[in-house]
Chain A
Amino acid sequence: MSVTAFALLIERLAFMPSRTGKLRLLEDHFRQAEDPDRGWALAALTGALSFPAVKAGAIRAAAAARLDPVLFAASYDFVGDLAETVALMWPDTGVSATAPSLAEAVERLTLSGRAEAPALLAAWLDRLDDSARVAFLKLVTGGLRVGVSARLAKTALARFGGRAPEEIEEVWHGLAPPYRDLFAWLDGRAGRPQVNHAATFRPLMLATPLEDTEAAALDLSAYAAEWKWDGIRVQLVAGADVRRIFSRTGDDITPAFPDIARHMAFDAVLDGELLVARPGAEAGSGSGSGSGSNGAAAEIAPFNDLQQRLNRKTVTRRMLAEHPAWVRLYDILFEAGEDLRGLAFTDRRARLEAWFARIRPQCMDLSPLVAFAGLEELAALRRGARGRAIEGLMLKRRDSAYVGGRPKGPWFKWKRGPLTLDTVLMYAQRGHGKRSSYYSDFTFGAWREVAGGGRELVPVGKAYFGFTDAELVDLDRWVRTHTTDRFGPVRAVEPRLVLEVAFDSVHRSSRHKSGVAMRFPRVHRIRWDKPAEDADALATLEAMIAE
């Protein structure tokens, strides 16, 4: 397979809105492409490839050497994307018959140095046709942006090989590109690859949401309670020669969190919440609490701060200083090679506390157990859980083993009630895929006083779920009959319809005109009855900010 076949896949994925559609494209590609190219394609999609020598500067340099500057500038203005502009206007040499294989391109680029990168790029571009050039430049600069997570790629692998996703997960982190042994196994030509289990991700145990009515029916004496932290779930895997931090979906995010990894000098697999501490909080590190209900050591920053650290391949020193990472531990899966997953929660908790007291790792603490006498007290705790990093409560059956996946019953998450705000619909945008004929993405605003009197609406968020299909039909019709202006796929509407929006929390944000950003906003109720003048003010929303 040449780069051309990979390019076609990238092209289709980039435009495919649906998850099942993406899965089918991937599965089809694994079936049609050959080794080792399909493995390199997999590596590219899962972010396992990087070519440090090739940066945007190398593309600019290659362009400057070969392209007319006036035409390049005019084209860049029109296209708006450097890699795409260069790819599209690169002169055709008509030698695409000699397009390199993906493997050849990857292997050569891995060895390339910064100085030779522009010339090397130019030589490859000469050998590719234009659609392949786009994919190639996106590949080498690490910006595929086709909406495929490692998780999705692994699901496609599982379907392709007729295996359970957990089976792929068990071996995944012991494998390396171009994954010949993995594909041999999935093709049925060889047995399951032997991997070093010390470095693998174990599927996480997930909780099911608990409705208020269900809570009353629960035998609470069988459950322990913890705070539900507003961070991201991580699994820490450390041993003699391995330190890895995995996300909930099994993505290896170690490079983004060196401040945690450097303190993982132990032999254990731990489950916990990744948070960001207030700078300077490390002073209190290591003084984790026991099973009492008093708070943990670090002062936690809002989720917004954590977001500065997410989705990054590398991290700057400044970011480490301003947004230091912290892990709040709540379970232990392995200790010194011993698999503890079969133990009851209470026993694992005792092992975790003993382990923590002995190791005292920096930048980590224990998530305290929350003592409660009964449903009433628990409900009161949940209502009061409006603190910075708390989303609600976790209930874990004391006798439950650690089981990967989402078994119903042993673990519940009982989120606090959402915040709500009455907002006014301002703009609507057409959706994608099945929703492409509906105005289904709604931008809503709140009132703000204008200097000199009067009020104006300022956009405070955007929501595209929370309503039923029938309600969507009504909203769509309303948008079409109340349009005041059109901007491509976006319509401005008369400021008349009140949407009661629910959201988990609200934070300050310099990126939004309103100065605030909501988390998980969704349409809670459509207030056909309520006059827009009675909708809430921006000040009301600002008062909800969790400082």
Chain B
Amino acid sequence: MKKALFSVALAFCLSAMNLNAQPPLENYFSPATKEAATPDNEGFIRRWTLLEPITKPNRSNTVFTDSYLREAFSQEYFKNQFTMVPKDGQKVKAKCQVEVRQPMPAAPAPGAGGPNRPARPAGAPGAGPGAGGPGAGAPMMMGFRGMGPAQVKDTIETLVWHKYDSKLYNNKLFRLASGLKKTVYGVMFWAVTTIECDEDIENVRMAVGSNSGSMWWLNGEEAVLLSGDRRMVADDVISDRLTLKKGKNIVRGVVINGPGMSDFCLRFLDEDGKPVKGIRIL
């Protein structure tokens, strides 16, 4: 029976895209310099240490409810994920997921679904993330011709942290993945940066946009959650009033995406909504 299984890792049809044809990584990122960086003219923070994508298959972003994201982001994918301040090139062993499929035993009955769309009730095994949960009933992506329902299988992958300065105000995570020839869809990206302040800066707000869902922490405290099938918009979700303390502050985030062009942008705004610039990014 096992031999009959036809495994398909990285099951999204688009993951089969020709990564060699993608624009190079250096169009979007450059290695971080040793000198401290500053926010750009609009206050966006461009220096981040980014972990290669953790694969976590989702065929639709409509499952990204608050509850789903809180549950997904509370799981441990790699050791010390909520405390480590990674260095460039540092490796971690991360818990990833891949979809495994088996061939369809028979053609779908006429009218049971569209072309390439196997019929399966919501909540049935393999019905996809969110089945029976908050996102139950989410539309399914078309599957592979002749393939059956997918099952998710855990794997352990060795992933590398990359410390980059983005050439754009935002951080094109999709291009990080494609540039490193990694999986681009159904993925989760972790990001960390260190902000140094000369004095306490009170009543600032963390302003984040992300494609798709994401969660961000400042010095270990949750600051914002971006839920839903979300596109990246600058200053989309804003935290409560925070304090950037004198010395080092750690900003940590995680972005999750199904079939989307992952990216994020982040800056801090003062009480008047003006960007905070008088900080250093290490």
Bind each other? no
A residues bordering B, Cβ < 8 Å? none
B residues bordering A, Cβ < 8 Å? none
